[in-house]
Structure formats: structure tokens, C-alpha cells
Chains A and B, each alone.
Chain A
């Protein structure tokens, strides 16, 4: 179409401002799509933090609180669960597997979690992913063995067979160290992008051994002290744990078992469905994510307004161009269409360049983001929702193009063929 040729040639004549405009739109489009992708991915990865677990059981508190400390290692349990309650439900006929979790110690800011070998067998994240070791093995009978999450190993540069000392409590600067009972690194897990990466895993026996000689929350002194060697010889049966992850034989039983746990007479317990609690937690954090999205929408709007400004400022200098076109037979609606075509072309070029920037950006940052934030940014074609966003941007540009088009229409009617010098 001839109008397109004219519009492109005219834009080419103003290529510096045209490119600046295109670049501004491209950056805004790239930002919007990047935010959208990170947002979608963050939500998915958040929902994927724990999978396959049907119920999480802890002492009675709030469901978000229970989720936070049992899965995200944030905050502390208000109370513990007695070991016999764990045994009671672990042997329930509906329960396929039960993973005990015991928290409360830390190592240089990372949480230590006491658990059983069932953890490595049954814990799932990202739908069906099982935990995998990148080196070494899971802990076995010796209580003083530790398996590190990927981030712990990387950040603290720990190797297999290295010995480390755990600290009592979870403050970053721990006051009391369990330095009489060092642990040996026997395995390092592969990266999962979940809080597992930031956890040190020891056996429940190890957790018990650390505290076997403690009295009233204080380490024993003098003769009451139990050495690591002595502890190895003792029967290390935990008295209490912090939480339990349950897998059931049948999903249908989830609600009835949940009710049974919540009404358990032995002690006050709370059972939650991880999916529901994750949703609840996300709805708390979702506000920030929505705000980010709104901000990037406004950036796109700014880009488009920049385009509008550039076209409007050019109108006055282009009166001669319009008059020449009128003198060779262009009708006012041709002039108006020319400006709409121009706006659309700028926006389209901006969107395409924005997509290119996005893909180059993702290709470049993919590895880094996955390694550091556990987010996998896919290099796929735009989703339907993203196409809708892009379509909306182009429609907005078309709509904005009507403003200079209308002005040029009026102007060309008034100026006619006279050329103002």
C-alpha cells in the first residue's frame, strides 16, 4: 500500500527520533513481558515448593505460620508434637508415608532440620521432582552426619567429609554452639530452587544427640556432659518433633484425616493442606507482584505517550510535507491515515524489538537467575496472555495515533496547498 511506503519514507527521514521512540517502546514492552514472565514463574515455583504432600501437621497455630516454618524455614514453631502422636498417625491405615521434621538449630544463618531417611524418599517439589544428591549419600545410622542443601554448600564452600559445628537456636549470631559434637558432610543435594537448598539435613538421632545432655534449655557442664562417642552408644529416640509431612494412600481420605488430626485428643494438633495454605500465603505476597505489574503497565503507557509527543511535535515541521501531498492529490483522510500508520508502525517496531530484547535478555540471564533465585525463565513463544498484552499495546498505539491524525486532518484542511516557509 502506497500510504505505508510514504509513512516509512517519512519516518526514515526522521530516523533518529523514530529510533528513540521505538527504543523507548521496546524497553517498556520488554520490561512488561519480563515482569510478567518472572511473575508467572515465581507464582509457579512458589506453588511448586512442596508437592506430593497431602497434609502438613504441626502444633496448633495458624496455617500460614505452620507452612512458613515447616516448608519455608521462616519463623518458629510455637509448640512441638510429641513423638507418640507422630507414631500414632504414621501408623494410621490411610497414611502411606510420614516424614518427621525437627527444627530449632542452625548453622551460620542456615536452618538445620532433623528428619528421617523417608524425607529423601518421599519429599517432592515442582510437581513430581524428587530430591537428588549431586554428590555423596544420604545420612545413615551414624547420628553425626549431615546432608547439605545446594545453596548452603555453595555459599559456605563446603565439601564432602568436611566437619562442621551446629549452633543452638536460629539467630544469625548464635550464642551457644554444639562444638562438642561436630557433624561430617556426607552428601550434597542438587539445586531445587526451593528452601531445601538453604537447609542442612541431619537425622532425628543426630538432633537428639545434640541435646541429649541438655537440661532446662542449657548445655550440661562438667561430669554431666555427654561426649559424641558416648552419644553414639546411647539409644537416641526423639521425645518430640516440630512437624510432620504426610502422604496418604488415597486423596479422598485427606479431609477426613485432616478432621481426625484436628480433633485428636492426645494433644492439640493442626493439619493443613499445603496447596490451600500456599494459596493463602501467595495472596498475602501477591500485592507486591500486582504492584510491579501495574508499574510496568505505566512504563508502557509512558513509552506510548513519548511516541505521541514525538509525532505531535513533528506535525508543525511537516506542514510542508502535508501541503505537498495535498497538492498532488492526497485527501485529508489520506493525511490522517498516514499519521495513524506512522504511530502503528512505531509501536509495532517497538513491540518486535521489545520481544527481541526479552529473548536475548532471557537467553543471557537464564542460567544466572536459575542458579541464584531458583527461577527457571522459559525461552518459549509468547503465551496467549502475552499476545493479548501486546495486542492491547498496539491497539493503544492505534488509538493514540488518532490524536495527531485528527490534528493533521484539521491542519491540512486549514493550510490547503499553501506552504508556509
Chain B
């Protein structure tokens, strides 16, 4: 029917013994869409991402990712489903500092056959996909590939993290404040690259941040505080 990538309906979640943290009637993310989700701390942002990643299970309601109800999958199937279809970029310290840049980018392909296959299909090999993605993200120098990830600047690290999220064209890229450690100019430049690559890979982008100034760059923007009835109630 629809091209919905994520479909949440009547979702509720609470940690054991605590009041409900998340209460969302409905939330949709279309395929190919880029969505800015404004999420100040305490708005249930981390929990929502955990639910979307299938790491936590909702107390009620359903989460559909690619028309697959996550709660119907076993824990290990959810893990597999997550890596097959989702790439993550976090705020900072995204990389394993002791691995090379190349190894960091290729990590998801070791845990997901699907993404390794897609990367190979598109670029000929996982290694070529890595080089191509990094080059698109402005990391051209071949010697950079073999550098220890921990030795890179923060800006470079975030671009490596983006390449890792995008390798093997997952349908969804979730970015959790990936620009907060960057300065203003670098932020927009990073986002432009990220948009371009998501478009190229056909991935939807769910971008969570508290920095409202970035919202204008996205197809659509939403506030998690408004979406989440639980925090609205708490604020009253």
C-alpha cells in the first residue's frame, strides 16, 4: 500500500517500575524522506531509537519497519533485521579507535550478508564500496584508509561514521546528533554530504537533534516533545 518505511502506531513504552516514558499515537517516515526530529534531552529520544533498533520492545502498540512488525521477530532476528536495514551515526565516538578507517566502514558488512551483497553488487566489492563512499564524503586520500580511526579529527571521524552507516545501502539511516561536535560551517557541509549520499543510496534519513537551525534543510520536521504524549503530560 504505502511507501512507509517506519510506521508507529499507538506505541507505549515504560522502563520496568517507572511511569510511561513514551506514548506515540502515530508516526510515519516515508521511503526516501529526510526527517528532522527535534529531541531535547529527556524527551524519550534514546528510548525511541532503541525501539526503532529493536533493542527494546514496546509495552503496547506496534513498530513496523519495512512493513515488518518488529515485535513479531525474535531478539536475534531483530538484531539481524536492524543491521540489514539500518545504519547508525551517533553524536561522537562512533568508531572503534583501534581499527583502521577501512575496517570501521566495513564493520556492518561483516555482520550483514545483505549489506555486503548490496555493496558488492553496486561497486564490485566491499573494499571498492568503502573507497567510493569515503571519497564522496570528502576523504579522498588512499593512505587515510589504513590510518587508525582514533587518529582522525572529529570532523573526519563523523564522515567515516556516515560512510559506515551508508555502506550496503540500508533503507534507513538514523543519525543521533551527529553534528553536535562540529562547528557551524562544518555542520551544514556534513549534512549536505549526508543528504547527497542518502539520496544516492535511496535511504531515508531520520535525524535527531536539538539544534532547530538545521531543520530547514530537511523535507519535514517534527518535535518529539509534541509527538510524545507522555512528556506533554509530564510538563503540564
Contact of A417 among B80, B88, B93, B107 (CB under 8 A): B88
Query: Which chain A positions have C-beta within 8 A of B55?
Result: 326, 416-417
Q: Is B56's CB within 8 Å of the partner chain A? A: yes
Q: Quick check: B93 and A416 within 8 Å, CB to CB?
A: no
B133 close to chain A: CB less than 8 A: no
Complex CA gap A418/B53 in Å reads 11
Task: Chain B residues near A13: list those with CB within 8 A.
Answer: 97-98
How many Å from the CB of A304 to the closest CB on chain B? 25
Which A1-16 residues sit within 8 Å CB-CB of chain B?
2, 6, 9-10, 12-13
User: Would you call A9 and B110 a contact (CB within 8 A)?
Assistant: no
The distance in angstroms between the C-alpha atoms of A327 and B107, with both chains bound, is 10
Interface residues in B41-62 by Cβ distance below 8 A to A read: 46, 49-50, 53, 55-56
For A329, give its contact among B56, B82, B97 (CB under 8 Å). B82
Interface residues on B, range: 20 to 34
Contact B98 A334, beta carbon cutoff 8 Å: no
| Per-position 1/0 for A122-138, Cβ under 8 A of B | 00000000000000000
B146 to chain A, nearest CB (A): 13
Measured between alpha carbons, how far is A331 from B112 in the docked complex, in Å? 11
| Beta-carbon contact of B111 and A334 below 8 Å | yes
Q: 5 smallest A-B Cβ distances: which pairs?
A: A329-B83, A329-B111, A416-B55, A13-B98, A328-B107
Residues of chain A at the chain B interface (Cβ within 8 Å): 2, 6, 9-10, 12-13, 320-321, 324-334, 416-419, 421
B32 within 8 Å of A (CB atoms): no
List B164-221 residues whose CB lies under 8 Å from chain A: 164
- CB contacts (< 8 Å) of B83 on chain A: these are 328-329
* Contact (Cβ within 8 A) A330 B111: yes
Beyond A13-B97, A324-B95, A324-B96, whether A417 also contacts B108 by CB under 8 A is no
Cβ B53 vs Cβ A416 within 8 A: yes
Contact indicator A417/B97 (Cβ below 8 Å): no
Q: Which of A12, A327, A333 contacts B88 (CB 8 A)?
A: A327
Q: Which of B36-87 contact A (CB under 8 A)?
A: 46, 49-50, 53, 55-56, 75-76, 79-80, 82-84
- Partner among A326, A328, A331 whose Cβ is within 8 Å of the Cβ of B164: A328
Q: Which residues of B contact A418 (CB under 8 A)?
A: 46, 49-50
Residues on the B chain within 8 Å of A326, using CB:
55, 79
> Cβ of B131 < 8 Å from any Cβ of A?
no
Given contacts A326-B79, A417-B50, A421-B92, list 5 more A-B pairs with CB under 8 A: A12-B98, A327-B90, A331-B76, A331-B79, A417-B49
**B98 touching A329, Cβ below 8 Å:** no
Residues of A within 8 A of B53 (CB): 327, 416-417
Which of A324, A326, A332, A334: most chain B Cβ within 10 A? A324
Specify which chain B residues have a CB less than 8 angstroms from the CB of A417 in the assembled complex: 49-50, 53, 55, 88
The answer for the CA separation of A9 and B79 in the assembled complex, in Å, is: 24
Q: Tell me, yes or no, whether B34 is within 8 Å of chain A by CB.
A: no
Residues of B within 8 A of A10 (CB): 96, 98
Which B residues contact A (CB, under 8 angstroms)?
A: 46, 49-50, 53, 55-56, 75-76, 79-80, 82-84, 88, 90-99, 103, 107-108, 110-112, 164
- Chain B residues with CB under 8 Å of A416's CB are 50, 53, 55-56
> Could you write out 7 A-B pairs with CB less than 8 Å apart?
A6-B96, A10-B98, A321-B96, A329-B112, A332-B75, A417-B55, A418-B46
With a cutoff of 8 Å between Cβ atoms, the chain A residues found around residue B164 in the complex are: 328
> Are B110's CB and A2's CB within 8 A?
yes
Q: A321 to B94, alpha carbons, bound, how many Å?
A: 9
Hey, which chain A residues are within 8 Å of B96, CB to CB? 6, 9-10, 321, 324-325
Q: Which residue on chain A has the smallest CB distance to residue B79?
A: A331
> What is the distance, in angstroms, from B78's C-beta to the closest C-beta of chain A?
10
- Hey, which chain B residues are within 8 Å of A12, CB to CB? 98
CB-CB under 8 A from A321, the residues of chain B are 96
The minimal Cβ–Cβ distance linking B119 to chain A, given in whole angstroms, is 13
- Give the distance in Å from the alpha carbon of A246 to the alpha carbon of B18 in the complex: 91
Write the nearest CB–CB distance from A88 to chain B, whole angstroms. Answer: 84
Closest A residue to B108 using CB positions: A328
Closest residue on chain B to residue A412 by CB atoms: B55
A324 touching B49, Cβ below 8 Å? no
* Least CB distance, A177 to chain B, in whole angstroms: 76
User: Which chain B residues border A2 with CB–CB below 8 Å?
Assistant: 110
For residue B174, give the distance in angstroms from its CB to the closest CB of chain A: 9
Kindly provide the distance from the CB of A418 to the nearest chain B CB, expressed in whole angstroms: 5
Residues of B within 8 A of A332 (CB): 75, 79
Q: How far is the CB of B49 from chain A (nearest CB, A)?
A: 7
Q: CA separation between A416 and B97, bound complex, in Å? A: 20
CB of B43 to closest CB in A, whole Å: 14
